[in-house]
Amino acid sequence: MDTHPLKLELKSSTAETPFIRSLVFGVEGGVVPQWQAGAHIRVSLPGGGDRPYSLMALPDLPDGALALGVLREEMSTGGSQFMHALKIGDVVKATAPANNFRLHEGAAPALLFAGGIGVTPILSMAAELQGRGNPYRLRYAGRAHGLLAFLPQLRAICPKGLSVHYDSDDSRLDIAAALGDAAADSHVYVCGPAGMIDAVKSAALAMGIAADRIHYELFKAGLPSSPDTAFEVELKSTGQVVTVAAGQTIIQALAQAGLDVLYDCQRGDCGVCQCGVIAGMPDHRDVILSDDEKASNKVMQICVSRAKSERLVLDL
């Protein structure tokens, strides 16, 4: 089965900020797959592997097109630099859209938080809520003026519901105040760096917002806490040893060895791939485990986390 069945031809690449480009693709065959706010596709990279990018409901998107917003990361393992270097007419392969960050059904209000490039799924959510007529507010935060992408598009999508916050001045986002201003039955959505997600989650829980009304998606699992190196994984059940190469995830290495493991988001935020650790020291890079769980080194998310020791023995 082709895991990346979509063929996407680059139609435009626009600098939205010095570091962020919007990329608009036409879909081969002209049939755009159905997707809803919060969905992403995974774009295949030339050196192997792929990267997830949220689909953007940009206001001026031509029919039959898909749009992505891509931050160029200096520390990236090549995905964002490959995407930024694409030329008009280049073709990439991608998965069908998947969605781990869905909007709630019904008319309840929403409070959206976006941090930096985490705005990409949030923009689509604002567009959908605006179209549905649901009440919502969007709090968009970034480090400094000039670094927040898609502001003109957001102003067109949500002329009344948008507030913009800069860390560099007194407009800095006050998460507790934003939550306090929201209607009591609001659903809360946050996409951005891990620190912002943690701050919104803990402030919302502290204010009594039920966990099932707090929805989040990590833009990226943080910078590696150590340079990626190869290590070994030993399966407790069979004693089989699999080498995880520097550019591979544990899941990819296990799949290459013909082993089947459960996974979903591949970003360290859904919990599906969680695995017991029998021996060795994980290098945790997820956002789903609590600090205590991480410190215990008894469980890990094998889609993003790696090893600080030369070998991990996993409960597989």
Specify whether the CB–CB gap between 41 and 123 falls below 8 A.
no
> Quick one: 50 or 286, whose CB is closer to ligand FES?
286
Residues that bind ligand FES (rule: CB under 6 A) add up to a total of 14
Q: Give the nearer residue to ligand FES in terms of CB position, either 174 or 264.
A: 264
Closest CA to 311 of 289, 267, 268, 281: 281
Contact flag: residue 301 with ligand FES (CB under 6 A): yes
User: Residue 230 in 3-state DSSP?
Assistant: coil
Of residues 90-109, those binding ligand FES (CB under 6 A): none
> Shortest Cβ distance from residue 304 to ligand FES (Å)?
6
Q: Which lies closer to ligand FES via its Cβ, residue 119 or residue 221?
A: 221
**Considering beta carbons, is residue 265 or 313 the nearer one to ligand FES?**
265
Q: What is the DSSP letter of 100?
A: S
CB of 264 to ligand FES, least distance (A): 5
Q: Which of 55, 148, 190, 303 binds ligand FES (CB under 6 A)?
A: 303
> Does the protein bind ligand FES through residue 153 (CB under 6 A)?
no
β pairing state of 187-192 and 214-218:
parallel
Burial 244-278 (b: 16+ CB within 10 A, else e): beeebbbbbbbeeeeeeeebebbbbbbeebbbebe
Residue 79, CA distances (Å) to 124, 141, 162, 163, 231 in order: 22, 24, 30, 31, 22
Query: For 84, phi and psi rounded to 5 degrees?
Result: -70, -25
8 in contact with ligand FES (CB under 6 A): no
Residue number, 123 or 270, with CB nearest to ligand FES: 270
294 part of the interface to ligand FES, by CB under 6 A: no
Using the minimum distance from each CB to ligand FES, give the nearer residue, 121 or 268. 268
If you ran DSSP here, which 8-state letter would residue 224 be given?
A: -
> Least distance in Å: CB of 196 to ligand FES?
18
- Residue whose CB is less far from ligand FES, 43 or 141: 43
Instruction: Give least dist CB 217 to ligand FES, A.
Output: 11
The two tokens of residue 310 are 């030369």
Between 84 and 267, CB nearer to ligand FES:
267
Least Å distance between CB 251 and ligand FES?
7
First to last CA, the chain: 25
CB 163, min distance to ligand FES, A: 31
> CA-CA distances (angstroms) from residue 83 to 13, 24, 168, 182?
9, 11, 29, 37
The region, left, alpha or beta by phi > 0 then psi within -120 to 50, assigned to residue 48 is left
Per-residue x/- track, 248-287, ligand FES (CB under 6 A): ---------------xxxx-xxxxxx------------x-
User: Helix, strand or coil for residue 146?
Assistant: coil
Residue 155 CB, nearest approach to ligand FES (Å): 34
In whole angstroms, the minimum distance from the beta carbon of 17 to ligand FES comes to 29
> Alpha-carbon distance 10 to 84, whole Å?
11
Contact positions vs ligand FES (CB under 6 A): 263-266, 268-273, 286, 288, 301, 303
